[in-house]
Amino acid sequence: MRVTESHVFGVLANNLQRSRSRLLDLQRQVSTGKAVSRPSDDPSAFHQVLHHRVSLVGLDQHLRNISFGKTRLDLSDQVLQGVSGTLPRLQQLAVQFRSDTNGPAERVIGAAEVRQLFAQLQQLANTDLNGHPIFTGTSTHGRATGLPIAEPVSLVNGSNDTLLVEVDGVLSGTIDLTSGTESLTGGELASRLQNRINADATLAGAGKRVTVTFEGGRLMIASDSHGLGSQVSVVGGSSRAGLGFDGGSTTTGEVPFALTATVSPGSGNTGGAMASQGQVVDPNAATLDDYVIRFTSASTYEVLNVTVPVTVSASTANTGSARVMDAGMIDPRSLTLHQYRIQFTSPTQYSVLDVTAGTTVSSGNVFVSGAPIEFDGLRVMLAAGDGGGPQTGDQFDISLTPRTVSANQPYLSGQPLTVEGIQLRITNDSGTPAAGDLFAVVTGMQYQGDDELQPIEVGPGQAVPTNLPGSRAFTASGADIFGSVKQLVRALRSNDRTGITEALGGLTGGISHVASLEGEIGALSNRMAVGADQLEEAKSFYSELLSRIEDVDLAKAISDLVLQQYAIEAASRTLTQVFDSSLLRYLR
């Protein structure tokens, strides 16, 4: 085989090119510190590099999740610590003003501080993180909450089967609930209302939907939207009263915990007017007092504050030794604002008389010293004295004298009626109001969020909740913190020592409840901290594996680089010598 100069030249040139390519690879390894940066470097190693990098990305994401979740939990813990710091002060005030050394005037002063502490608790409960409330579940929804209704409810076509609902400012058409006669439970009613409201063409065309539930004997219609613009109200229809929406309350979804004003018509009303759901339109002006709107004629009304002391007077003709132990207003919705009398028909029995109406409320009641006597929203407690108990014919007169907020107000059907931050409407329905008709307005607090958890992924198939729904934290049935504080305000302002004691019990339960929640939050936070440490260890492990595979041995790479440079120089000289001794040189 003849080896030509061209062949020799080609071989040398190819070797020089490969050496230069190798030199470039070594320069890249030295400059980047990576031995494997593309599949051609080492296919098997490059696959492992990709696998480990994906693992590191997942670990970093889980660490970010834990960081966010721990921040949320730590903020929740701080809020609960704030609640834990506020409740003992409320407890202290309850103990202080329960004492007989304080009278009505002192208790009213104490109620002012309790009202501010209530606002402080509300502010804590509405704490948010980057615009997202931490105790709201997943969202907040405005809703219309009806009055309690008795099950089952009978719906009759053409009689009481229609409803008009306003959702987020959009008024529905007439919603027909049945085509026959049906008797429905609360759950069945909720399902029927939800289906029919969401099928309304006007609401559907505007993209408005609702969720209807039956809770605590009441229907609740919540907008599926959330935030300030989320609101529902029932404004008309023949089934409005039967479904409990001849009153009730409405709220927006602006905050998780919103002040409410629940309107209830008096059971003795004889007129044909109907009230809307009440709404707190100015939280800064709203108090925690309760009110009664009393019609003085078909065209005038007055607004009365009924969170006041109940007066009980023993007749000067009494021969027994029974004394007044306590008295208070316990249910504004049941008030008649009449004068009453407890009449003893024997030393062991009594009757309750409505002096204003000239009727007997109850008779044949057995007297037990110190036991509560409750009627028409009032509670009176009589106790045997040192000289014994009551005697036949003994009398005790009971009255509640409300504070007049506004008097002789002109009534216009459907016009807004505003009182101390609260707004409602009273509208002629089957007729006008009658003189003496009452509409109670009871203030309170309602949770606007849902009960959903917000879990985060802290590992493959592992999720940890990062929130406590507000219903668990503040308004749980066994520890209704806001309800207890509201009761304390009412009891202080109405000089009701028994009510103060009951509120004290609720506050004590609330303190224990919050302490248990703090423990739960702390356990979740610790779990995340441990998880973060484990993820950091895993991250270090994968980083070390990745380094072993892709990182270059700099000492060896630099040595190889120098040797490669020498090899290129030698190859270049050889190629030059071959070229110089070739026929081409002689021909030149």
pLDDT in tens, 277-296: 999 999 999 989 999 999 99
The structure tokens listed for 351 are 């009757």
| Terminal-to-terminal C-alpha distance of the chain | 28
Does pLDDT of 21 surpass 80? no
**What pLDDT, on the 0 to 100 scale, is given for residue 59?**
76
Question: Could you read off the pLDDT of 185-217 as tens digits, one per residue?
Answer: 999 999 999 999 999 999 999 999 999 999 989
**What pLDDT, on the 0 to 100 scale, is given for residue 464?**
85
476 contacts: CB under 8 Å, gap ≥ 6: 513
Instruction: Return the C-alpha torsion angle 318, 319, 324, 329, nearest 10.
Output: -40
**What pLDDT, on the 0 to 100 scale, is given for residue 68?**
87
Question: Could you read off the pLDDT of 491-503 as tens digits, one per residue?
Answer: 999 999 999 999 9
**What pLDDT, on the 0 to 100 scale, is given for residue 461?**
81
292 contacts: CB under 8 Å, gap ≥ 6: 303, 304, 306, 332, 335, 337, 402, 438, 439, 440, 441
Q: Which of 156-160, 375-379, 571-575 has the lowest mean pLDDT?
A: 571-575
Q: Report the distance separating Cα 363 and Cα 354, nearest Å.
A: 12
Q: In a 3-state reduction of DSSP, which class is residue 130?
A: coil
In the chain, % of residues over pLDDT 90: 65
**For the chain, what are the domain ranges?**
1-26+552-588, 53-136+471-540, 310-401
More confident residue, 430 or 1: 430
Residues 39 and 46 sit within 8 Å (Cβ to Cβ)? yes
**What pLDDT, on the 0 to 100 scale, is given for residue 341?**
97
Does pLDDT of 383 surpass 70? yes
Confidence of residue 445 (pLDDT cuts 50, 70, 90): very high
**Inter-residue long-range contacts of 180-188, CB under 8 Å, 24+ positions, other chains counted:** 181/154, 181/155, 181/156, 181/157, 182/154, 182/155, 183/152, 183/153, 183/154, 183/155, 184/152, 184/153, 184/154, 184/155, 185/151, 185/152, 186/149, 186/151, 186/153, 186/214, 186/217, 186/219, 187/214, 188/152
Question: Could you read off the pLDDT of 129-174 as tens digits, one per residue?
Answer: 888 888 888 889 999 999 999 999 999 999 999 999 999 999 999 9
**What pLDDT, on the 0 to 100 scale, is given for residue 132?**
85
Q: Report the distance separating Cα 43 and Cα 162, nearest Å.
A: 73
11-27 average pLDDT score: 53
More confident residue, 236 or 463: 236
Q: Which of 94-98, 115-119, 582-586 has the lowest mean pLDDT?
A: 582-586
**What pLDDT, on the 0 to 100 scale, is given for residue 35?**
47
Q: How many CB atoms lie within 10 A of CB 309?
A: 18
- What's the mean per-residue pLDDT of the chain? 86
**What pLDDT, on the 0 to 100 scale, is given for residue 462?**
84
Please provide residue 370's backbone torsions phi and psi, each rounded to the nearest 5 degrees.
Answer: 85, -5
More confident residue, 385 or 413: 413
In the chain, % of residues over pLDDT 70: 82
pTM of the complete model = 0.84
**Domain at 53-136+471-540: CATH code:** 1.20.1330.10
Q: Identify the residue whose tokens are 């108990």.
A: 389
More confident residue, 462 or 419: 419
**What pLDDT, on the 0 to 100 scale, is given for residue 534?**
83
Does pLDDT of 454 surpass 90? no
More confident residue, 558 or 247: 247
Does pLDDT of 265 surpass 50? yes
365-384 average pLDDT score: 96
Question: Could you read off the pLDDT of 521-571 as tens digits, one per residue?
Answer: 988 888 888 888 887 887 777 666 665 555 554 455 455 545 655 556 665
SS3 content of the chain, % helix, strand, coil (to 5): 40, 30, 30
